[in-house]
Amino acid sequence: MTEQSTPWKVADFDQIQPIACPCGFARRAFQGMPEFPGTLHITEIREDAELHYHKRLTETYVFLECGPDAQMQLNEELIPVKPLMSIVIPPGVRHRAIGRMKVMIVCLPEFDPADEWVVDH
């Protein structure tokens, strides 16, 4: 049987290999889709996430799972977060998650690893 082309795309994050990133490990979907100009990530954030920023990308974090003391550092400000909160992070904002958590990230435009700038401490 031949595979038919459909106007929709399905991502099974269990089948996407995690990639190391400054936050932990990301599973990224929908790259190269003309119908969606971004990417969708499920990221497991580790305790020692690195402070970083993007020059072109806007990221929207949706917190799926996190502990009661979880926070986001946005520039110098610390924001407490909890499941089902969301934060839009525009280009140039230095950010990192504090505490272990699982997040969904909508990245616009499409994620580009060359636009990930780790901040030296």
Q: Is residue 41 part of a domain?
A: yes
For residue 77, the enclosing domain spans 18-112
Q: Is residue 72 part of a domain?
A: yes
CA–CA dist 41, 25 (Å, integer): 10
Q: Is 55 helix (H, G, I), strand (E, B) or coil?
A: coil
Q: Is residue 118 part of a domain?
A: no
pTM of the model: 0.91
CA–CA dist 18, 80 (Å, integer): 26
Q: Is residue 10 part of a domain?
A: no
Q: Residue 101 maps to which CATH number?
A: 2.60.120.10
- pLDDT tens per residue, range 10-24: 999 999 999 999 999
What is the residue type of 80? P
Q: In which band, very low, low, confident or very high, does the pLDDT at 7 lie, cut at 50, 70 and 90?
A: confident
Rg (CA), the chain: 15
Q: How many domains does the chain divide into?
A: 1
